[in-house]
C-alpha cells in the first residue's frame, strides 16, 4: 500500500511536467559528431578479425576504401571555396603609410629642428595615435612639404633651401611621389579582385558529403551490430555505447510497464484511502 501511496504523490507532483521516463527527442548529431562516429567504425574495419566476421555479409576492401573516400570528401568540400573579398588590401595601405611615417618623420623633424626651429614640429605633427588617422597625418605632412618647396608661409624664402636640404638627407621627389600614390590608393579604395562568393556551394557540398558518410555508417553499423557480439570487436567499432543505450531503453520499457501496472492498481483503490 505504501508503494501505491508514493505513486499517487508522484503523480500529483508531475501533473504539469509529464510522466517520468517519457521519451525525449534525441539531440541532433553535429557534423563533427557524425564524422567522429563514422571514422571510429572505419578504424575498426582495419582489424582482420572484424573483416573476417563481416566478409560473409559484404564487407570488402573496396567497401572500406569507399568509406574513407567519403571521409576525404568532407575534408575537401570547402577547400575550393573562394571567400568573399576581404579588407586585407586596405590593411596593406595602412602598413605602407605607417612605414613611411616611421622612416621620414624623424628625418624631417631633425632637419627642421636644426635649421628652422620656428616650425615647432607642425609639419610632422601627430594628429592622433589611432591607426585610422594615418592618412590624414600623411596628407597634412605632404601638403606642408609642398608649401615648403614653394616658399609659402611660414617658411617663406627659406622654404626651397629647406626642401633641398631634405633631399640631401634622402627625402627625394621619389619618396614624396610614393607617399602621394599610397594616399591615392587609400582615397580610391583597394583594388580587390572580383571573385564569386562560393560559400553557399561549399556548404552544400559539405552537407552532401556528410550525408553520404552518415548513410554509409548507418548501413554498416547496423550490419556490425547484428553480426558482431564480441565486446572487444564492438569497442573497436565504437559500438559498445550502443549496447549501453539498448540496455537503458530496455530498463525504461520495464519502468514504463511497472507504472502502467501501478496506475491500474491506483484506479481500484477506494478514494477514502487516498491522502
Give 209-242 pLDDT, tens digit per residue: 899 999 999 999 999 999 998 989 999 999 875 4
Helix (H, G, I), strand (E, B) or coil at 167: helix
**Entry pTM:** 0.42
Are 47 and 64 in contact by the 8 Å Cβ rule? The answer is no
17-31 residue pLDDT tens: 443 443 333 346 787
Per-residue model confidence as pLDDT tens digits over 158-204: 889 989 999 999 999 999 999 999 998 888 765 444 556 677 788 88
Between CA 178 and CA 92 the distance in angstroms is 14
In sequence order, what are the residues at sequence separation of 6 or more whose Cβ sits closer than 8 angstroms to the Cβ of residue 177?
Answer: none
Sorted by where each begins, the domain ranges of the chain are: 2-17+27-79+203-273, 88-188
CB 151 within 8 A of CB 159: yes
Alpha-carbon gap, residue 29 to 38, rounded angstroms: 12
Amino acid at each position: 500500500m505504501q508503494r501505491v501511496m508514493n505513486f499517487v504523490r508522484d503523480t500529483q507532483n508531475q501533473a504539469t511536467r509529464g510522466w517520468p521516463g517519457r521519451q525525449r527527442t534525441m539531440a541532433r548529431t553535429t557534423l563533427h559528431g557524425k564524422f567522429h562516429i563514422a571514422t571510429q567504425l572505419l578504424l575498426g574495419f582495419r582489424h582482420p578479425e572484424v573483416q573476417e566476421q563481416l566478409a560473409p555479409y559484404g564487407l570488402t576492401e573496396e567497401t572500406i576504401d569507399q568509406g574513407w573516400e567519403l571521409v576525404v570528401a568532407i575534408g575537401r568540400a570547402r577547400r575550393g571555396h573562394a571567400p568573399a573579398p576581404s579588407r586585407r588590401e586596405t590593411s596593406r595601405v595602412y602598413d605602407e603609410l605607417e612605414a613611411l611615417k616611421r622612416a621620414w618623420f624623424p628625418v624631417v623633424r631633425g632637419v627642421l629642428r636644426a635649421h628652422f626651429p620656428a616650425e615647432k614640429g607642425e609639419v610632422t605633427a601627430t594628429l592622433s595615435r589611432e591607426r585610422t588617422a594615418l592618412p590624414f597625418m600623411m596628407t597634412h605632412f605632404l601638403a606642408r612639404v609642398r608649401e615648403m618647396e614653394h616658399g609659402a608661409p611660414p617658411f617663406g624664402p627659406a622654404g626651397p633651401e629647406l626642401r633641398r636640404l631634405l633631399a640631401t638627407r634622402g627625402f627625394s621627389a621619389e619618396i614624396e611621389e610614393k607617399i602621394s600614390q599610397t594616399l591615392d590608393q587609400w582615397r580610391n579604395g583597394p583594388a580587390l579582385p572580383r571573385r564569386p562568393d562560393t560559400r553557399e556551394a561549399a556548404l552544400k557540398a559539405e552537407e552532401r558529403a556528410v550525408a553520404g558518410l552518415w548513410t554509409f555508417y548507418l548501413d554498416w553499423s547496423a550490419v556490425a551490430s547484428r553480426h558482431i557480439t564480441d565486446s572487444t570487436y564492438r569497442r573497436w567499432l565504437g559500438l559498445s555505447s550502443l549496447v549501453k543505450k539498448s540496455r537503458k531503453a530496455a530498463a525504461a520499457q520495464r519502468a514504463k510497464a511497472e507504472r502502467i501496472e501501478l496506475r491500474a492498481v491506483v484506479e481500484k483503490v477506494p478514494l477514502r484511502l487516498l491522502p
